[in-house]
Amino acid sequence: MDRRPTHLVPPHRPAARAALLLGAWIVVLVGGSSHLASADRPRASSISLASADVRPVAANGIPTRLAAPAPIPLPPVVPELLMPELLHIAPKRLVEMEVTAYCACKKCCGPNAQGITASGKTVDYNAGKFIAADTTVLPFGTRVSIPGYHNGEPVEVIDRGGAIKGHKLDVYFPTHEEALQWGRQMILVQVEE
């Protein structure tokens, strides 16, 4: 016969009711003396009743209290299992930079231009959407969002140039005409750390 006093637990206290139904140990204090009651099966609950603050009243009108069982240690939480999309969120900062444009022609890159960036990647990388920067300010691999370039989506720093010093960027375009259309602009860009 199941002697767990579930009728003593208010229905609005689901944590306490769950602890009782799952076989937690219960100490019922009646008039200063304590009686120990337990279920026939082992405890399967990790719910702490300490925060439930349950104060039921027995049928005889004497207040009783449920003692909280010792909490059962839970396995460590692995953040990837909870919200994996949050693991790849990088902090961002806004920086005002002088942004110019270039292409892979001999005018923009010199007489030895071969379509290979300083990082060793070709100009076809990321469908030709990338930037050149001063790698002491923005190292290779840094992602930057530039309004008006690649729909404002982040692009990677994979190139550098002799004239690109400090807070300057060069956005890559496949043709010299497109690079000329961009011109020279002061833009507030978003840098992902």
Q: What is the pLDDT of residue 57?
A: 58
Q: Is the pLDDT of residue 192 over 70?
A: yes
The β-bridge partners of 46 are none
The helix or strand, by DSSP H or E, that contains position 97, with its residue range, turns out to be strand 92-102
Q: Is the pLDDT of residue 127 over 80?
A: yes
Q: How confident is the model at residue 92 (pLDDT cuts 50, 70, 90)?
A: confident
Tallying the residues shown for the chain, one arrives at: 193
Q: What is the pLDDT of residue 71?
A: 73
Q: What is the pLDDT of residue 72?
A: 72
Contact between 126 and 95 (Cβ < 8 Å): no
Residues 6 or more apart whose Cβ sits within 8 Å of residue 144: 131, 133, 138, 154, 155, 156, 157, 169, 189, 190, 191, 192
- What is the per-residue burial (b if ≥16 Cβ within 10 Å, else e) of 54-70? bebeeeeeeebbbebbe
Q: What is the pLDDT of residue 168?
A: 96
Q: How confident is the model at residue 74 (pLDDT cuts 50, 70, 90)?
A: low
Average pLDDT (107-134) is 94
What mean pLDDT is reported for the chain? 75
Q: What percent of the chain has a predicted confidence (pLDDT) above 90?
A: 48
Distance CA 130, CA 157 (A): 6
Residue whose pair of structure tokens reads 């009728």 in the numeric block: 7
Q: Which residue has the higher pLDDT, 79 or 184?
A: 184
Q: Which domains does the chain have, with CATH numbers?
A: 8-73 (no CATH), 91-192 (2.40.40.10)
24 class by beta-carbon count within 10 Å (0-12 exposed, 13-18 middle, 19+ buried): buried
121-124: long-range pairs with CB below 8 Å, 24+: 121/158, 123/172, 123/174
Q: Is the pLDDT of residue 115 over 50?
A: yes
Q: What is the pTM of this model?
A: 0.55
- Which of 73, 61, 71, 5 lies closest to 36 in space, CA to CA? 5
Contact between 9 and 16 (Cβ < 8 Å): yes
Average pLDDT (31-50) is 44
Q: What is the pLDDT of residue 6?
A: 52
Cα 140–142–146 angle (5° rounding)?
120
Q: Is the pLDDT of residue 99 over 80?
A: yes
